[in-house]
Structure 1
Amino acid sequence: MPWGLLLLWLFALATRFWGLTRFPTLVFDEVYFARFGRNYLAGVPFFDAHPPLGKYLIALGIWLGGGFHPWGYRWMNALLGSLIPVAVAVLAYLLTGRSRVALLSGGFVALDGLFLVESRYALINVPLVLLGVVGQILWLWGLRYRGRGRSLWLIAAGIVFGACVAVKWSGLGFLLAVGLFWLLQQGLPLPAEWKTTYQWWQMCLLLPLVAFGVYTLLWLPHLQFHPHQSLLVLHQQMFNFHRSVSSTAHPYCSPWWSWPLLLRPMSYFFQRVQSLAEPVPVIGPPLPLAETQWVYAVYALFNPPLLWLGTLATLALLPLGLTTTAGRFLLLNYAAHLLPWALVSRCVFIYHYLPAALYSFMALAWVWEASQDWGAWSRWLRIAVLGGVIGGFLYWLPLSLGLPLTPAAFFRRMWLRSWI
């Protein structure tokens, strides 16, 4: 498996770094997050609706990368994004003990379009997901120890969970999932490698206190630039901002229930040109479609076959998944990252589904492995699944990397009218 993890990481690294500076302009929310990172380096105060850690990382990338240019503010996110498939593979192995399920889980993430897009720009969903998965790895690893060793691993998990929430408040979903899993595990048989489960004081006191402490400490650099604001006031402003955003504030708003069906992806970048020699971005009004020869587009679009198969696999786990440890963990994580959005009235987007989709991909890997017991015909089913996922990745890859397409080729990839 170590060689498999290395190859997985190298593939993810190559796809995330290749052509990283293709568009020498701020793309999508880079207009906020990349500039916020630069503001930290310049000591300029600003208001942000999210906690600060994601922008600290962008600022670190700008500082190490030699300035405020596309490579400088993107490379750190690309590096972190390349580690997500590896982290997912490790998490899947801890849950199942099966190398094939682990590598397949990580491979599915590496072959997904939205994880790829989010890794190639100065955005903050990638550190959110990576820290959440690493926190869960540490939490699960602690179950293999007793006494002080277990508490130390739990403290390490709490540190990472606190950092995760310091990227976005939605990082609480990772902490909620392990809490629900711990509650549901009470009185149930444990896997052989787990000594015992965590004690109530570890889960109800130690873990949340460590996470809250780290979350608070990570605000201190931000507060240095805002000496006249308290942490409480900042949180009130952030909460009021999110509450004030209308459910129809953006043309790409999409309800939470539509995400597993992939009904409304987002356009992050779109330019029409007459020649591939024409510099991008184009200055001036958009070119009429009738005169357009080429289209550059970056879409926040999951790999469609992978996402739909992941949704089906998650549904397939419902009857029997709760009877196994790994099944409970996957289903509870999926629910903890999806269902709370039903309570949110503001405008939400397809990228909010990234953490939940992660566990649907792991569910697909688990079902794929289990299908070997379904009979000889299942071999062709497994081949079709892998072919569909790889084919989907390659077919929609131009929309992940921003490669030029003819208008006809672009519209062929818009399978649903709601994608446009």
Structure 2
Amino acid sequence: MTAFFDDSVSPKPRFPWYPLGLVVLFLFAAGLRFWGLERFNTLVFDEVYYTKFANNYLTQTAFFDGHPPLSKYIIAASIWLAEQWHLGPNIGNELAGTFRTTWSYRWSAALTGSFIPIVVAELVRQVSQNRRFALIAGSFVALDGLFLVESRYALNNVYLVIFGLLGQLGLVLAARTLAQRAQRLARSVTTPISPIGWRLRFWLWMIGSGVSFAAAASIKWNGLWFLLGAYGCLAIGWLYRLVAQRNLQAAQRLRLLRKMQTARQAEGTSTTENIPDLQLSPNFQFPNLETAPTIAKRLKFQRSLFWHLGQIHPIAVILCLGILPCLVYALIWIPHLQLNSNETFWGLQQQILSYHQNVKSGKAVHPYCSD
């Protein structure tokens, strides 16, 4: 973990091969997902629900949905855009209640799925500071069979995943902003650090993270696991920082001892007048510094992921990852409530909870399930 957030570990190459690699990765993922997208001119698996629900928004038909509405908004928007821009072959069906081409209700999932490997690669790069490792991770995701299938149909899991990953990426970038500021201060960089600049970046990343986590929960409630995972990482970071503080204090004490030993060897004295932070008894014996842990090893905590996550103040977490996601989640329901004017926000949440507590499985619910 010593390489996390250390810019010196991964210097910028002269040739921008990493951005070029991301472009190639995106084109490769998009090719796999868009190829033959019009095939199977029918509603596959949960398309029997989501495509119909999306069509209901376009036809202004009231309905009940067992999940939050964001993915159906996206599918409805993709249908409308495809019809306006005449995207894809004119191969379609009326299984959603209105004639819709297969491209119209599938292309947004294919596009979203093409971006997931890019987000994964950038998340890995930010954490590991290893561009090759990032591209390898993104390639694995681009080739993953589950992501590939989910990206070729009008299903909602790809939207949940990309919003959850964007939330995690925003949190990591917020921590990285604090790390970069700490590195500049530690290296005594002469260029002045704008407090407005780094604070603005920090809050923008935190706000973006909170909005993304809210969007993930607005696809399905199990999208909240991304947010709960972020809470867990932050809790580990705060605990990690408390433990690491002791190691840092030991490293600072060792640095003072080195200075004092050098001064004693040069002047034959052990005075501590210029070092008020260290109180020594007259009989104090200097340790064998050759066998003591090095300061660089002691300070490895300052370059770790959890150290900088632990620097994020709890108030920022409460505001951006607590209050903000709740507000965004509630706002996302407004179009659905306008269509279903007889329902209330809390009433729909209770209906969804009751629905999932009593939902059945098998062919009666999912026609493509096996016995």
TM-score class normalised by the smaller sequence: 0.5 to 0.7
Q: Is the 8 A contact 2:209 2:320 kept in 1?
A: no
Instruction: Give TM-score, length-normalised by structure 1.
Output: 0.58
Between the aligned partners of 1:216 and 1:30, the Cα distance in structure 2 is 25
CA shift at 1:116, angstroms? 0.5
Between the aligned partners of 2:158 and 2:309, the Cα distance in structure 1 is 33
- Name the counterpart of 2:106: 74
CA gap of 1:62–1:49, structure 2 versus 1, over 3 A, is same
Q: Which amino acid aligns with 1:225?
A: L
CA shift at 1:160, angstroms? 1.1
- Name the counterpart of 1:98: 130
Q: Does 1:63 align with 2:80?
A: yes
How large is the RMSD of aligned CA atoms in angstroms? 2.3
Q: Is the 8 A contact 1:182 1:197 kept in 2?
A: no
CA shift at 1:205, angstroms? 3.6
Q: Which amino acid aligns with 1:191?
A: R
- Name the counterpart of 1:202: 316
Q: Is the 8 A contact 2:234 2:309 kept in 1?
A: no
Q: Is the 8 A contact 2:237 2:309 kept in 1?
A: no
- Name the counterpart of 2:214: 162
- The 5 Å alignment of 1:296-315 reads none
Of 180-189 and 29-38, deviating more is 180-189
The count of residues paired between Structure 1 and Structure 2 equals: 257
Q: Is the 8 A contact 2:174 2:202 kept in 1?
A: yes
Between the aligned partners of 2:367 and 2:152, the Cα distance in structure 1 is 14
Q: Which stretches in structure 2 are left out of the alignment for 5+ residues?
A: 1-17, 84-98, 179-198, 245-300
Q: Does 1:3 align with 2:117?
A: no
Identify the match of residue 46 of structure 1 among 63, 67, 70.
63
- Name the counterpart of 1:191: 303
Cα distance per residue 1:149-192 (max 9 Å; x no partner): 32221111111111111111111111111110111112142426
CA shift at 1:145, angstroms? 2.5
CA gap of 1:252–1:179, structure 2 versus 1, over 3 A, is farther
CA gap of 1:185–1:45, structure 2 versus 1, over 3 A, is same
Q: Which stretches in structure 1 are left out of the alignment for 5+ residues?
A: 254-265, 270-418
Structure with the greater alpha carbon radius of gyration? 2
Name the SS for the 2:362 alignment partner. Answer: coil
Identify the match of residue 227 of structure 2 among 147, 167, 175.
175
Between the aligned partners of 1:167 and 1:141, the Cα distance in structure 2 is 24
CA gap of 1:178–1:156, structure 2 versus 1, over 3 A, is same
Q: Does 1:217 align with 2:324?
A: no
Between the aligned partners of 2:345 and 2:174, the Cα distance in structure 1 is 32
Between the aligned partners of 1:128 and 1:57, the Cα distance in structure 2 is 12
Between the aligned partners of 2:364 and 2:337, the Cα distance in structure 1 is 33
Name the SS for the 2:177 alignment partner. Answer: coil
Between the aligned partners of 1:29 and 1:195, the Cα distance in structure 2 is 38
Between the aligned partners of 2:163 and 2:149, the Cα distance in structure 1 is 18
Between the aligned partners of 1:36 and 1:172, the Cα distance in structure 2 is 22
Instruction: Give TM-score, length-normalised by structure 2.
Output: 0.66
Q: Is the 8 A contact 1:190 1:196 kept in 2?
A: no
Between the aligned partners of 1:125 and 1:145, the Cα distance in structure 2 is 30
CA gap of 1:102–1:244, structure 2 versus 1, over 3 A, is same
Q: Does 1:85 align with 2:117?
A: yes
